[in-house]
C-alpha cells in the first residue's frame, strides 16, 4: 500500500498548535515539538522520582507506627507512592524515554526530585504532617495536571489524585488525634507543623517572577496555574484546617486579606540550598535509593534468567 | 538490562470490556500479570487483566488519519438521523 508523504514541518506545527488551542489532548504517536517532548520527559521523570524517593521519610516509620491500624494505613500509603512512581515512568516511556535510563539519571544526581523529601521525619507527628501538608500540597499541584495537554500524563494524574485523597485525610486524622491528645502530643503536633509548613509552601516552586519555564509550559497546556496561584490556594485551604486543629501556623506575618490569607516572605535561599544538594537529608536519600536499586539487582537478574530459561512461561 | 514493556488492560467488572490502563516492565508474562495486579488493581479496580507485549501492538499512524478513516466520512446514511420521519409516527 502506498503511504502518503509525511506532512511538512509547518503543517505539523500548525496541527499541534490548533490541537493545544482547542484544548484537545496530544497522544503518544502525534507529532510534537522537540521542546514539548523534552519538557514533559523532564517533568514526568522528576515527578516519578519524587514519588519513589518520597517513600523514604515515611517508610522509615512503618515499624514504629503507634497501632496496627496506623501501620496498615502507612504501608498502603507508601505502597501507593511506589505505584504512582510506576504510573509516571510508564507515562514517560510513551514519550520514548527509557525508565532504566531515567533511574540512572536520578542515581547520578542529574535529574531532581522534589526538595520536600530532603527533610527528615523525626517524630511520628511528622508522618501525620507529611500526609496533611505534603500530600495536601501535592494534590493542589496535581489536580490541574489531570487536564494537562499530554494524554498519558493527564490519565496517570487522574489515578494518582483519586488515590491521594486518602493520603491527605489519614494525615489530617492522625494530626487531629495528636492535637486533641496530651500536652506532649500537642507539642509533637505543633513541632511537626513548625518544621513542615515552610518546606510545604516551597513545593509549589519559585515565585512566578523567577520561574523561567512557566510561561512556555502554560502556553503548551502542561501547566494550568502559576506557582504563586497554586501556593495561595494551598494557604487558603490549609490555614482554616490548622485553626480547627488548634495549631499555630509558624508565621507571625500571616493575616487575613479579604477571602485570602497572606503569608510572610518565603526563605528562597533555603529552597535554593536544598535544590543544590545541601538540604538536611539529600545525601542519605540518594544513597538509600542507589542502595535499594543495587541490592535489588539480583532479583531482576534472577527474573530475567528465569524468563530466558522458560520462554513460554505465562 | 531492561525487561520488556507490557501494555496492561483491565476489565473493571463483568459485562464491560477490557480497557487500556498503562504499561509496565516485566521479564515474562507471568510476572507482568502479577505486577499489573499490584500496580493497577490495588483497590479492586478489576476482575480480569490482560497483558500484551508492547512490541506486539500494531497501531494506525496519526499521520495517515485522514486517508485511513476517510471512507466513513461521506456516508451519513449509515446513521438513523439521516432519514426524515413523518411527524406523529412512532416505532420508526
**Is A13 at the interface with chain B, CB within 8 A?**
no
- The neighbouring-strand residues paired with A262 are A255
**Is pLDDT above 70 for A2?**
no
Whether residues A310 and B28 touch (CB distance < 8 A) is answered with yes
Residue pair A129/A197 in contact by the 8 Å Cβ criterion: no
**Is pLDDT above 90 for A313?**
no
- Considering only CB atoms, B22 lies closest to which of A29, A76, A87, namely A87
**Is A296 at the interface with chain B, CB within 8 A?**
no
**Is B51 at the interface with chain A, CB within 8 A?**
no
Q: How far is A272 from chain B (nearest CA, A)?
A: 34
> How much is the pLDDT for A4?
61
- Considering only CB atoms, A307 lies closest to which of B28, B64, B67, namely B28
Q: Give A31's contacts in chain B (Cβ within 8 Å).
A: 62-63
**Spatial separation of the C-alpha atoms in residues A177 and A66, rounded to whole Å:** 12
- Angle separating helix axes A282-295 and A34-53, nearest 10 degrees: 90
Average model confidence (pLDDT) across chain A:
95
Mean pLDDT of A37-52: 98
Q: Which residues 141-160 of A are in CB contact (within 8 Å) with B?
A: 152, 155-156, 159
Whether residues A4 and B64 touch (CB distance < 8 A) is answered with yes
Chain A residue nearest residue B43, CA to CA = A163
Q: How far is B81 from chain A (nearest CA, A)?
A: 27
**Is A300 at the interface with chain B, CB within 8 A?**
yes
**Is B23 at the interface with chain A, CB within 8 A?**
yes
Residue percentage of chain B with pLDDT more than 70? 99
**Is pLDDT above 50 for B49?**
yes
pLDDT in tens, A160-187: 999 998 999 999 999 999 999 999 999 9
Radius of gyration of chain A (CA): 21
Would you state the torsion angle of the CA atoms of residues A40, A44, A46, A50, taken in this order, to the nearest 10 degrees? 160
Burial B2-34 (b: 16+ CB within 10 A, else e): ebbbbbbbbbbeeeeeeeebbbbbbbbbbbbbe
**Spatial separation of the C-alpha atoms in residues A116 and A272, rounded to whole Å:** 12
Mean pLDDT of A103-128: 97
* ipTM > 0.90, yes or no: no
> How much is the pLDDT for A207?
95
Whether residues B24 and A303 touch (CB distance < 8 A) is answered with no
Whether residues A304 and B59 touch (CB distance < 8 A) is answered with no
Whether residues A87 and B39 touch (CB distance < 8 A) is answered with yes
**Is pLDDT above 60 for A283?**
yes
Mutation to test the B interface, candidates A48, A84, A307, most B Cβ within 10 Å: A307
Reported confidence tier of residue A314, pLDDT bands at 50, 70, 90: very low
Q: Give B63's contacts in chain A (Cβ within 8 Å).
A: 4, 6-7, 31
Mean pLDDT of A21-29: 95
Reported confidence tier of residue A139, pLDDT bands at 50, 70, 90: very high
Q: How far is B89 from chain A (nearest CA, A)?
A: 40
Q: How far is A258 from chain B (nearest CA, A)?
A: 41
**Is pLDDT above 50 for A126?**
yes
**Spatial separation of the C-alpha atoms in residues A53 and A288, rounded to whole Å:** 9
CB burial class (10 A; 0-12, 13-18, 19+) of residue A185?
middle
Q: Give B5's contacts in chain A (Cβ within 8 Å).
A: 93
pLDDT in tens, A199-241: 999 999 999 999 888 899 999 999 999 999 999 999 999 999 9
**Is B53 at the interface with chain A, CB within 8 A?**
no
> How much is the pLDDT for A3?
59
Whether residues A163 and B31 touch (CB distance < 8 A) is answered with no
> How much is the pLDDT for A75?
97
Q: How far is B36 from chain A (nearest CA, A)?
A: 10
Chain B residue nearest residue A27, CA to CA = B62
**How many CB atoms are closer than 10 A to CB A153?**
24
Closest CA to A52 of A89, A18, A15: A89
Backbone angles phi, psi at A303, to 5 degrees: -65, -40
Amino acid at each position: 500500500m502506498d503511504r502518503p508523504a509525511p506532512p511538512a514541518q509547518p503543517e505539523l506545527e500548525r496541527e499541534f498548535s490548533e490541537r493545544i488551542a482547542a484544548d484537545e489532548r496530544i497522544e503518544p504517536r502525534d507529532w510534537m515539538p522537540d521542546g514539548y517532548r523534552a519538557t514533559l520527559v523532564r517533568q514526568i521523570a522528576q515527578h516519578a522520582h519524587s514519588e519513589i524517593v518520597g517513600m523514604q521519610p515515611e517508610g522509615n516509620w512503618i515499624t514504629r507506627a503507634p497501632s496496627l491500624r496506623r501501620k496498615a494505613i502507612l504501608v498502603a500509603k507508601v505502597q501507593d507512592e511506589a505505584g504512582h512512581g510506576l504510573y509516571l515512568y510508564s507515562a514517560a516511556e510513551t514519550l520514548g524515554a527509557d525508565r532504566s535510563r531515567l533511574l540512572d539519571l536520578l542515581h547520578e544526581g542529574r535529574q531532581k526530585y522534589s526538595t520536600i523529601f530532603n527533610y527528615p521525619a523525626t517524630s511520628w507527628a511528622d508522618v501525620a504532617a507529611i500526609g496533611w501538608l505534603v500530600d495536601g500540597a501535592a494534590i493542589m499541584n496535581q489536580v490541574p495536571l489531570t487536564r494537562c495537554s499530554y494524554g498519558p500524563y493527564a490519565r496517570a494524574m487522574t489515578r494518582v489524585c483519586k488515590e491521594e485523597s486518602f493520603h491527605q485525610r489519614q494525615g489530617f486524622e492522625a494530626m487531629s488525634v495528636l492535637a486533641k491528645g496530651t500536652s506532649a502530643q500537642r507539642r509533637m503536633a505543633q513541632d511537626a507543623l513548625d518544621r513542615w509548613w515552610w518546606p510545604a509552601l516551597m513545593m509549589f516552586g519559585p515565585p512566578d517572577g523567577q520561574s523561567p519555564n512557566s510561561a512556555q509550559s502554560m502556553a503548551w497546556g502542561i501547566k494550568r496555574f502559576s506557582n504563586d496561584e497554586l501556593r495561595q490556594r494551598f494557604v487558603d485551604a490549609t490555614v482554616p484546617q490548622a485553626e480547627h486543629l488548634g495549631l499555630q501556623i509558624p508565621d507571625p506575618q500571616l493575616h487575613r486579606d479579604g477571602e485570602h490569607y497572606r503569608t510572610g516572605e518565603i526563605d528562597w535561599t533555603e529552597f535554593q540550598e536544598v535544590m543544590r544538594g545541601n538540604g538536611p537529608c539529600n545525601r542519605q536519600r540518594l544513597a538509600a535509593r542507589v542502595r535499594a536499586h543495587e541490592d535489588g539487582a539480583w532479583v531482576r537478574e534472577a527474573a530475567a534468567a528465569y524468563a530466558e530459561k522458560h520462554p513460554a512461561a505465562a | 538490562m531492561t525487561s520488556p514493556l507490557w501494555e496492561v488492560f483491565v476489565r473493571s467488572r463483568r459485562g464491560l470490556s477490557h480497557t487500556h490502563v498503562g504499561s509496565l516492565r516485566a521479564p515474562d508474562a507471568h510476572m507482568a500479570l502479577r505486577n499489573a495486579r499490584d500496580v493497577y488493581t490495588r483497590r479492586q479496580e478489576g476482575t480480569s487483566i490482560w497483558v500484551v507485549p508492547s512490541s506486539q501492538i500494531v497501531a494506525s499512524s496519526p499521520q495517515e488519519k485522514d486517508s485511513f478513516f476517510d471512507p466513513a466520512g461521506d456516508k451519513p446514511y449509515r446513521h438513523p438521523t439521516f432519514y426524515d420521519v413523518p411527524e406523529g409516527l412512532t416505532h420508526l
